[in-house]
Every structure is written in C-alpha cells, then in structure tokens.
Amino acid sequence: MTRPIIIDTDPGQDDALAILLALASPEELDVRAIVAVAGNVPLPLTQKNARRLVDLSGRTDVPVYAGCPRPMVCPLRTAENVHGRSGLDGHDWPEPATPLQAQHGVDYLIEALMAADEGGITLCTLGPLTNIAMALVKEPRCARGIGEIVMMGGGFFEGGNTTPAAEFNILVDPHAAHVVFASGLKLTLLPLDVTHQALATPARIARFAALGNKTGKACAGMLSFFNRHDVEKYGEDGAPLHDPCVIASLLQPDLFAGKMVPVQIDIAPGLTLGMTVMDWWGVTGEAANCMVMNRINADGYFDLLAKRLARLP
C-alpha cells in the first residue's frame, strides 16, 4: 500500500536529496506532486530546481507547481550564502525539461486535498510553511484531506540556525508556522535537534560519488558545496543533512525517536521571533500537539539514502 504524499519545498541542496529519496521509493510513496515555495532562494529558482530534480530522477510523471513567492507577513529572507545563487550550487544543471504547471501551487493543494479521502494525503514540508498555511486559510475544509504534516523545521535544545532562537524554515514565515501548529492537524517535526546528528561527512559524500550514476555524482557535488558553509559555522566534519529526514521518517520510522510535545511558534517581533517554543518537560500542562523527533540512527539514515539514490539514473 503506497502512501500518497505532496512535497512542499524550497530546493536547496538538502531538499534535493529529500526529493530524490522520495522519487526513488515508489513502492512506499505515491508522490502526487511537488510544490515549490520561496525560501532558500526566490520562487523562480526553487520551482526551476524542483523541475531539474524531476528531470534527474526520470520521474517525469510527477507534476511541479509554484506556490507563494513570499511569506504571509514578513519580507522574504533567502539563504544564498548557504545554497549559492542557484540554490543548487555544486552541480552543473541543464535547463529543466519538466514543465511548470500553470495552476498556482496553493490552489493545487486545495484541489488535491478537497478531492482526497479523509486524512488521505501526507504533506511533507521541507521549507517555509507559507503554501500550507495559505491553503488552510483560503479553504479551511481542505484540512480534512490531510492525514499528517511531516515537517523539517524548528529547534529547541539546539537553538536556532538563523537567529540564536529560530531555525530558517520557521523564521522565514513564522505566521504560516503558527497557522500550521495551531491547526489541530497531526504534526511530526524533524527539528535541528535531530538533523544536527546527521552530518554529511566526507566518507558519506564519497559513498554517493561512488554510486556510479548521475544522481550520485550530482548529490556528491551538491553536498560538497553545501558543506563548506556549515563546516565553517559548526566546526563539524560535515553539514547537517536536514530535509531528507522528513522522507526517511516515512520510509524507515525506526531510524527516529522522539515524543509528543506542546509546540508553539513565537510570532512577536523581537529576539525570539520564529522560535519553536517546545514544552519538552510538560511544565505548562498544555496538550501535546506535535511529535518532535530528537534521535536518529545516522548510519542507518545515510545507508537508506545511498541504497535508494543508487536506484535512480
């Protein structure tokens, strides 16, 4: 039984490996569509990069949509310093052949979710939550079609990576994150607390390069570029490979562990804007609204990635 998913993403080298992992796993995941959002780089580039990844994977059956070009309230903040000007620096990409769908990504989300069975679709979010929140605001009834939202974002014991308090995906659009975390929907979060345990070390990158296919070469090149910023920033032997954790948690849940926790988003202007405020020790007595993962079997994670990426062209 395959699991219908929609990937919402701001590619981004780590998004790229997440998307390729999903597209390499058709026995488990029915990727209905990829919806691009502004984040790591502006929307014209994130949608183009999503199309490039569909081309690379050979899964040209998967449609790509462009969603929102900016957050709901805040001005757009991007991360070319991490991902390069293209968003996928580190590999020489041809122009994409896969067309961009004409329909707006938010309207696609609403249409797909309204047509789905109750709880029929898992949303996998790899970037800011703008598209998801806009769909929920524009057509609240579409929530019925959402079985779960599995997100990369936030951080608690690890703090933030963009401000001391906030992780990039949440900080770019804290108001969208607030809409999602207050929605009452089934939520799973893969924050920095877990992704910082999954470092793309040189040995792990070399394994991708040795796959002998175009995909492995592209991933090794992208991660080598992606590493330079975070290795300098964290002084570790590799960059945290954030986004594929979302897809891996669906493919091999036993690689991860965490607990149900009350999570709220700080939307007040100031030092902690965009913070995922997690009541990890239950001091508020609030009801838990999110499964927060804080443990990963990193070797198993990279093993899964290498084995699945080997399947692609």
Q: Residue 161 interacts with ligand RIB (CB under 6 A)?
A: yes
Tell me the per-residue interface mask from 229 to 248 with Ca ion, x by CB under 5 A, - otherwise. Answer: --------------x-----
Residue 91 neighbours by CB under 8 Å, 6+ apart: 217, 218, 221, 222, 225
Binds ligand RIB by CB under 6 A, chosen from 25, 57, 122, 169: 169
Shortest Cβ distance from residue 195 to ligand RIB (Å)? 7
Minimum CB distance to ligand RIB smaller for 169 or for 289: 169
Residues in the chain: 313
Residues 217-246 close enough to bind ligand RIB by CB under 6 A: 242-243
Only segment of 7-15, 181-189, 282-290, 301-309 that touches ligand RIB (CB under 6 A): 7-15
Report the distance separating Cα 47 and Cα 162, nearest Å.
23
Q: Where does residue 306 rank: exposed (0-12), middle (13-18), buried (19+ CB within 10 A)?
A: middle
Q: How far is the CB of 204 from ligand RIB (least distance, A)?
A: 18
The total of other beta-carbon atoms located within 10 Å of residue 274's CB is 28
Beta bridge partners of 4: 30
- Binding ligand RIB by CB under 6 A: which of 5, 12, 266, 292? 12
Q: Is 46 in the site for ligand RIB (CB under 6 A)?
A: no
Q: Which residues of 214-251 are buried (b: 16+ CB within 10 A; e: fewer)?
A: ebbebbbbbbbbbbeebbeeeeeebbbbbbbbbbbbbb
**242 is known as an active-site residue:** yes
Q: Which of 56, 62, 135, 152 binds ligand RIB (CB under 6 A)?
A: 152
Taking the complex as a whole, the smallest distance from the CB of residue 70 to ligand RIB amounts, in Å, to 15
Binding track, positions 78-117, relative to Ca ion; x by CB under 5 A: ----------------------------------------
Is residue 126 at the binding interface for ligand RIB, with CB under 6 A as the rule? yes
Which of ligand RIB, Ca ion, none sits in contact with 148, Cβ below 5 to 8 A by type?
none
If one asks whether residue 12 binds Ca ion (CB under 5 A), the answer comes out as yes
Q: According to DSSP H, which parts of the chain are helical?
A: 13-23, 43-57, 80-83, 105-115, 130-138, 168-172, 174-181, 192-195, 202-209, 214-234, 244-251, 298-309
The SS3 call for residue 274 is coil
Q: How many CB atoms lie within 10 A of CB 91?
A: 20
Q: Please list the helix, strand and coil fractions of the chain in percent, rounded to the nearest 5, in that order.
A: 40, 20, 40
Residue with tokens 């992780």: 167
Binding part of the chain for ligand RIB, among 11-19, 229-237, 258-266, 284-292 by CB under 6 A, reads 11-19
Single residue of 8, 14, 148, 173 touching ligand RIB by CB under 6 A = 14
Q: By the criterion CB under 6 A, which residues form the site for ligand RIB?
A: 10, 12, 14-15, 39-40, 126-127, 152, 161, 167-169, 242-243
Q: Which residues bind Ca ion (CB under 5 A)?
A: 10, 12, 15, 126-127, 243
Could you list the active site residues?
242
